[in-house]
Chain A
Amino acid sequence: MIVKLKLSSLKSVAWHEYALRFALGGLATVATGLIAKFFGPVTGGLFLAFPAIFCASATLIEKHERQRKQQAGFSGARRGQGAAALDSSGAALGSFGLLAFAAVIWILLPAAGTAWAFAGAIAAWTLVSVSLWWAHRFVRFSKRRRSLSPRHEAIPGKSGPV
Chain B
Amino acid sequence: MMEYVIRFVVGGIAVSFFAVLGDVLRPKSFAGLFGAAPSIALATLGIAIAQHGTGYAATEARSMMLGAVALWLYSMGVCRLIERYRVSALSATCAMLALWLVCAFGLQWLLLGSG
Find residues 70-110 in chain A having any chain B CB closer than 8 Å to their own CB: 78, 80-81, 83-99, 101-103, 105-106, 109-110
Docked complex Cα distance between A29 and B94 (Å): 19
Grouping DSSP codes into helix (H, G, I), strand (E, B) and loop, the A interface class, with mixed when no group exceeds half, is: helix
Contact (Cβ within 8 A) B11 A46: no
A2 at interface by CB-CB < 8 Å: yes
Find residues 45-81 in chain A having any chain B CB closer than 8 Å to their own CB: 45-55, 57-59, 61-62, 78, 80-81
Docked complex Cα distance between A58 and B66 (Å): 23
Provide the residues of chain B in CB contact with A117, threshold 8 Å.
Answer: 54
Docked complex Cα distance between A132 and B42 (Å): 22
Provide the residues of chain A in CB contact with B79, threshold 8 Å.
Answer: 85, 88-89, 92
Docked complex Cα distance between A137 and B29 (Å): 9
Q: Kindly identify which residue among B63, B71, B89 contacts A43, using a CB–CB cutoff of 8 Å.
A: B63
Provide the residues of chain B in CB contact with A55, threshold 8 Å.
Answer: 89-90, 93-94, 97
Q: How far is the CB of A46 from chain B (nearest CB, A)?
A: 4
Docked complex Cα distance between A110 and B112 (Å): 19
Docked complex Cα distance between A54 and B52 (Å): 29
Q: How far is the CB of A73 from chain B (nearest CB, A)?
A: 21
Q: Kindly identify which residue among B64, B89, B94 contacts A46, using a CB–CB cutoff of 8 Å.
A: B64
Find residues 1-21 in chain A having any chain B CB closer than 8 Å to their own CB: 2-7, 9-10, 13, 18, 21
Contact (Cβ within 8 A) B23 A13: yes
Docked complex Cα distance between A109 and B77 (Å): 32
Q: Kindly identify which residue among B39, B59, B66 contacts A25, using a CB–CB cutoff of 8 Å.
A: B39
Contact (Cβ within 8 A) B67 A91: no
Interchain Cβ contacts under 8 Å between A and B, 13 examples = A5-B24, A10-B20, A29-B8, A43-B108, A44-B63, A46-B64, A46-B67, A50-B67, A58-B89, A98-B41, A102-B68, A105-B41, A110-B54
Binding site for A on B (CB under 8 A): 3-4, 7-16, 19-20, 22-49, 52, 54-72, 74-76, 78-79, 82-83, 86, 88-90, 92-94, 97, 100, 104-105, 108, 112, 115
